[in-house]
Amino acid sequence: MTLANVLIYAALVALVVARRFRGHPIGNPKALFALPAVVTIIGYIDLAHGGLKPLAVTLTVTGGILSLGLGSLRGRADRLSERDGSAYVQWGVASLVLFAVNIAAKVLLDVIGVAAGETFSTAGRSLIFTLGLTLAGEAVVLSLRSRTAGPETARTGTSRPGAAGPFPRASEGPGARAPGRVPLPVLEGHHERHEERRARRHDRHARWED
């Protein structure tokens, strides 16, 4: 891995961290998975051109599984809210800690590989690949969480006034009544009061005639 690659990878990591801390709308699923897919593909191509030994393959697979798992945990720790009718995600302290643990685990695996005879270049080629996998794991969980905010928001990243959410509105529940209809107990109470008034008027009229 050349110095130029190191600088590119460092800049990419810094860009991801800065964007996540600043926060951004999730958007539709294509936009959510675009960056993880591109980074993972680039990392895989870089790995495929290197010709990895069995130990490097084992360490890369281990790092990939760890990255997916930590990315999924980070997706649960991310702050998810709604702004201007769309789902909005932002990193907090927990998300940053999980990302730092992911990087530390990757560095530890690289150190193990170098100590076992792998070159630094071979160990470093999997960095971009594992970064893509951790972003993919995070994107999967965020996609699932955003769907609970409403199917319209999850599909398009925006919401319509009156769009159906995950729970039915009170007017849509089983006990809802049609507009303009008066409940039966109210009608019965009104009828009883009307009969009582008629009886009192009849008694007054009878006393007046006597």
Look up residue 55 and give its two tokens: 């130990």
Torsion, Cα of 72, 77, 83, 86 (10° steps): 20
| Per-residue pLDDT at 52 | 75
| Per-residue pLDDT at 137 | 95
| Per-residue pLDDT at 41 | 92
| Per-residue pLDDT at 180 | 47
Q: What ranges do the domains of the chain cover? A: 3-156, 182-210
Q: What is the pTM assigned to this prediction?
A: 0.66
| Average pLDDT over every residue of 176-193 | 51
| Average pLDDT over every residue of 197-209 | 65
- pLDDT surpassing 50 at residue 172: no
- pLDDT surpassing 60 at residue 175: no
| Per-residue pLDDT at 77 | 95
